[in-house]
Structure 1
Amino acid sequence: MRIRRVTAVIAGLTMVVAGLSAPARASAAGTVTHVEGVLGSGAAYVFDVPETWNGTLLLYSHGYTPKGAPNPAQNAPSAGARETLLGQGYALIGSSYADTGWVLEQALPDQIATLNVFGARFGKARRTLAWGTSMGGMITTGLLERYSGRFVGGLAMCGLEQGGVANWNNTLDPLFALRTLLLPGSDLPLVRLGNQANAFASAGVLNSALAQAQTTAVGRARTALAAALHNIPAWTDPALPEPAPRDYETAQRNQAKALGTTIYVGLSWREEAESRAGGNMSWNTGVDYRRMLARSSLREEVTALYRAAGVSLDDDLRALARAPRITADPRAVAYIARNLSFTGRLRDPLMTIHTTGDALVPVQVQRAYREAVRSPELLRQAFVHRAGHCTFTDGEMLAALRALERRVGSGHWSGTSPEALNAVAGSTAYVRYWPAPYPRPFTVGAR
């Protein structure tokens, strides 16, 4: 459908507003008014407002978009969720953010500006909920911590709930282990990369070493140790069957594939974030990798694979302890702490959901936030037993949203047990689960 473009000035804001198509389409709640536009920052936004609006506004925050990739505005995690919610009378809004990459500095104000434009056009919502997926789950948590007066609650799905500093610290750990154990004596750059060409060069060397390691039992054991420092789960691909509890060879094979993504994120995405932060934002000075392994959910797997390979785990842990460490640039750490790490101060209810088999953002991030939060009665966490990152069904996401709404409406949590969530979702995947400790927690004001 063609959209007529017009220019308008919203009081107090410098915005370029795209015209709307009205009605855009029909829904169970009547016709839907569809609005697209551009904020003064350059971020695009999109609104969908049903004719019979129930007064609840949902602000959606989307996930990470690599530098230079298409970056449209999004107002729902899926087409199915969008149509269901519009049919039930919810208004849906969201922005693209002004840039791509580690765009936390721009994302939060762009989302608040999107709220402001919506209010100027459609009036004040009866209640506003924030929700988002992946980096958007992180943004959702940041919005609740920093703009609590604008929301009554939030739903963070598969979010980076450990915050930015902890994320980059723990993304460094498996790469440091791979370099130390598979490329002994190498000074291959892992930080302060300078440009994408350098990032991809380091990634190529590490991926070649990882592939070679898969050809020997010793190499596979060392790969499992690197995976354990990031808590990469045994089941990482929802298209494959879950490995049996002690099928460590299959688990390690899955983890090795996932480490390829970890290498890409830990170098290419890191370089982009370093360019914003003005230096290296992570460190492993003072880190005890032996202790980290002892706390890892993969400890038994690593021990078994080292025993089967006939190689000393103690020797490799000593090699990690002796290896020259990486220091951070304080200004870069401060930038990432601002954009974005968490204080744990909530004033409104937050519900989080996470898959147990998430290799990109391992489920232990939820433990990190739970241990940081100052008002635990405001937080509820639920877990879906499935491989993959953000691999929820529409029903599972909407069931969590309903539970959050009940908390907002009643003042107390109900219907958050796996059985209750599954009944609403039409699923069997919500389970009782307690994540292992996050390897390297970080909250603002503590190092």
Structure 2
Amino acid sequence: MLLITALAVPFTCTMTAGVADSSSISEQGLLPDGTLYSLIRPVGWNGTTIVMPGREELTGDVPRWLGEQGYGVIGYELSDNWNLAQDRSNASSAVDIFSETAGIPNTVILSGRSQGGLVTRIVTDAAPAWLDGSVPMCGGGAGAISMWNTKLDSAFALRELVGPDSQMSITRIQDERGEQAAMNGLVSTASATNHGQARIVLAAALSKIPAVDAETGEDVPAANLDKRIAEYTDAMPLALGIGVRAGFEQTVGGSFSWNHGVDYRKELKASGRWSEVQRAYREAGADMEADLQTLANAPRITADQIAVSTVERLATFTGNLEVPVLSLHTTGDPAGATAEEEAYADSVRAAGDNHNLRQTFVGADGHCTFSTAEQITAIKTVADRIENGHWVSTSPRSLARTAKAAQEATTIKLGTTRFTTPHPALPGRPWDVRNWDSYVPAE
């Protein structure tokens, strides 16, 4: 594979846009800031290019299928410490590199997973002229303020109810390894007693940590409380995201999460899990009211106003969609509940652009655990929307038919499809453009 270094100068491209070519290009190089990228232009390129933040190696069956079907692909490495401004800028750099190296695309679709999914939403919100459509997968629909505030809520409940003298600081993390150890200790202590397990249920409710059966992809039945508790317990470390928070705080120069002024009784009732938490406490023989009072009396956490302002403009949303967007989200993602998609939809509705948004869900446990079939179906659906000027049905049945047709047209094993419609859930502590500049630190 050829390694080239892209110079940090404007590109002057003389290639023809979207011309099918008898030759193929496959190479790896560096974006202007030194970020690794890989690029593929297949034989008979169809003029559409998929930009994939977080897929710098372009390995696996998704890029393989895209190339087989005539799509150009460029993937680039994501930053450490959630440097989302760098990741956003590099999407445009990737398009420039593809245009210089392989030809100017007629159509560009952006699609990333996890951090790359959040970057996809951020770039889409910025509406660069080169963008024609987006497929964000499992990444930050509520925006970074809401996302990290609800993670704080779960962490705060865990600490204050299980070990208020714990060394877990929750925000302004100085010792990531020590913070992880403190959190693991709290989870271990809580899981050892019935009362502690009830407290895990309460903490999980505040950020809507899911309980999905890994075998069936279905929600664990409400009647099986023991299994739901086990799912919450296993998910807690990923759900709290300590390592990511620590890095993001370094990048933006302070803490962007707070809970002063938060009424946890109100938040718990709004979570949709009040009855489950009541049952967990009742079966444990524990006093839920006493624990809610403990949370009400506990000293609160403030954020740094400059950091909040930075994150607002970097990674929360205006809801303005200039291009079609189809999101993909697993129902059992502990890193971000499906309620985040409702938060995103609410921002888009408020901006009047809901005609450009479709949201799809996969019944599966885990973070970004999509099959190849599910990913390529989402990308193909947006490509068809761009080409035809209107959406086809994005119902689970219609998407499954699209995936079946794609499988019949290739020898690549695309895997199963598990498209579903989840139960709606209200987002916790939403924060978008309508809230910008309203945060005031507690005195």
Whether TM-score is above 0.5 comes out as: yes
Deviation, structure 1 residue 432: 2.1
Counterparts of 1:173-212 in structure 2, within 5 Å, are 173-184=153-164, 188-194=168-174, 198-212=175-189
Partners of 1:85 and 1:258 in 2: CA distance: 33
Q: 2:342 aligns with which of 336, 342, 367?
A: 367
The residue that corresponds to 1:254 in the other structure is 231
Counterparts of 1:313-324 in structure 2, within 5 Å, are 313-324=288-299
Deviation, structure 1 residue 444: 2.8
2:98 pairs with 1:118: yes
1:382-423 deviations in whole A, cap 9, x for unaligned? 111111111111111111122212221222211301110112
The residue that corresponds to 2:391 in the other structure is 413
Q: 1:205 to 1:239 in 2, by over 3 A?
A: farther
Q: Residue 97 of structure 2 aligns to which amino acid in structure 1?
A: V
Q: 1:290 to 1:74 in 2, by over 3 A?
A: farther
Residues 25 and 102 of structure 2 are in contact (CA less than 8 Å); yes or no, is this contact kept in structure 1?
Answer: no
2:419 pairs with 1:444: no
Q: 1:150 to 1:6 in 2, by over 3 A?
A: closer
The residue that corresponds to 1:348 in the other structure is 323
Partners of 1:188 and 1:7 in 2: CA distance: 43
Q: 1:395 to 1:188 in 2, by over 3 A?
A: closer
Q: Residue 442 of structure 1 aligns to which amino acid in structure 2?
A: W
Deviation, structure 1 residue 349: 0.8
**Count of residues in correspondence between the two structures:** 414
Q: Residue 36 of structure 2 aligns to which amino acid in structure 1?
A: A
Q: TM-score, normalised by structure 2?
A: 0.88
SS at match of 1:157: coil
Question: Which protein, 1 or 2, shows the higher relative CO under an 8 Å CA cutoff with sep ≥ 6?
Answer: 2
Partners of 1:152 and 1:92 in 2: CA distance: 15
The residue that corresponds to 1:232 in the other structure is 209
Q: Residue 227 of structure 2 aligns to which amino acid in structure 1?
A: T
The residue that corresponds to 1:132 in the other structure is 112
Gap runs ≥5 in structure 2: 13-20, 405-415, 439-443
Partners of 2:270 and 2:166 in 1: CA distance: 28
The residue that corresponds to 1:283 in the other structure is 258
Counterparts of 1:10-409 in structure 2, within 5 Å, are 12=10, 32-62=24-54, 73-75=56-58, 79-97=60-78, 99-184=79-164, 188-194=168-174, 198-235=175-212, 237=214, 243-263=220-240, 265=241, 267-373=242-348, 374=351, 375-409=353-387
Q: TM-score, normalised by structure 1?
A: 0.87
Identical pairs, percent: 32
Residues 295 and 436 of structure 1 are in contact (CA less than 8 Å); yes or no, is this contact kept in structure 2?
Answer: no
Q: Residue 250 of structure 1 aligns to which amino acid in structure 2?
A: K
Partners of 1:370 and 1:242 in 2: CA distance: 23
Residues 28 and 37 of structure 2 are in contact (CA less than 8 Å); yes or no, is this contact kept in structure 1?
Answer: yes
Q: 1:37 to 1:183 in 2, by over 3 A?
A: same
Deviation, structure 1 residue 251: 0.5
Residues 366 and 435 of structure 1 are in contact (CA less than 8 Å); yes or no, is this contact kept in structure 2?
Answer: no
Deviation, structure 1 residue 186: 5.1
The residue that corresponds to 1:431 in the other structure is 420
Q: Residue 349 of structure 1 aligns to which amino acid in structure 2?
A: P
Gap runs ≥5 in structure 1: 15-28, 63-71
Deviation, structure 1 residue 200: 2.1
Q: 1:10 to 1:224 in 2, by over 3 A?
A: closer
Partners of 2:5 and 2:182 in 1: CA distance: 51
